[in-house]
Amino acid sequence: MDAFEPPASAEKLYEGKAKILYTTDDPEILLTYFKDDATAFNAQKRGTIAGKGEVNCAMSQHLFRLLEGQGVPTHLVDCPTADTMRVRRVSIVPLEVVVRNIAAGSLCQQTGLELGTPLDPPLVEFYFKNDALGDPLLTDDRLRVMGLATPDQVHQLREMALRINQVLSDFFDQCGITLVDFKLEFGVDDSGRLLLADEISPDTCRLWNQAETDPNRRVMDKDRFRRDLGDVEAAYQQVLQRVLAQSF
């Protein structure tokens, strides 16, 4: 059970599987609390990863600052405590944007591509953010028909996702980690500008330790939880240590 107590004036706006969103005294700013709760396979598997909230919050803060410095706007304001982040209020685009550098996960399951196949240029995929429908993969035509984002926004999302991939891939490489794939979410602010939102963490990335060749031992991300590989907490802490040690 999470022991987080929000400020008395805060109103809970939304509770997701890994985070809770609260109002603050400033209508333009929201407070995100990062939970230790872990789910997988659309919440069919549930558990807790001790310390995960703090890891995901601190890692997201570091990587958002890195990206801001490279010209990618994000929703980050600051982190008042180790497991909370103040963010700009945006309207979330109901799409999960996945970038893949190496074949893994659902790509292998759905296409038969062998795990570890390099993807150059990287794949950019759009999924409908809808738990009831199981976050289905969308085609370009489905994206257009559903009107979840304008064609111009879809173009911008793709360009931003590829730019973020360049910055993050280089950064993780310097940490001795291969960025296999990851998921991004974006929001639109009052002026219509797209901002990177949500989090970037071992929950939302596949990260392989370059010092390990064994396909299970190298896994440093939520696949350790999804696939019962053990040592989940230690892997999250190891990723955070390496990320925080890498200045920019």
Q: Does 183 bind ligand TMP (CB under 6 A)?
A: yes
184-223 binders of ligand ASP (CB under 6 A): 222
Instruction: Say what the alpha-carbon torsion angle 227, 231, 235, 241 is, to the nearest 10 degrees.
Output: 170
Amino acid in the structure at residue 2: D
**Interacting partner of 88 out of ligand ASP, ligand TMP, none (Cβ under 5 to 8 A depending on kind):** none
Contact, 52 vs 36, CB < 8 A? yes
Contact, 32 vs 64, CB < 8 A? no
**Interacting partner of 43 out of ligand ASP, ligand TMP, none (Cβ under 5 to 8 A depending on kind):** ligand ASP
**How many CB atoms lie under 10 A from the CB of residue 28?**
11
Q: Does 43 bind ligand ASP (CB under 6 A)?
A: yes
Which lies closer to ligand TMP via its Cβ, residue 24 or residue 63? 63
Contact, 138 vs 176, CB < 8 A? no
Q: Does 172 bind ligand TMP (CB under 6 A)?
A: no
**How many CB atoms lie under 10 A from the CB of residue 1?**
6
Contact, 165 vs 179, CB < 8 A? yes
Q: What residues pair up with 137 in beta bridges, in sequence order?
A: 127
**Interacting partner of 33 out of ligand TMP, ligand ASP, none (Cβ under 5 to 8 A depending on kind):** none
Shortest reach from residue 99's CB to ligand TMP, in Å: 8
92-131 binders of ligand TMP (CB under 6 A): 98, 104-107
Residue numbers of the site for ligand ASP (CB under 6 A)? 17, 39-43, 222, 226
List of residues contacting ligand TMP (CB under 6 A)? 98, 104-107, 135, 181-183, 204-206
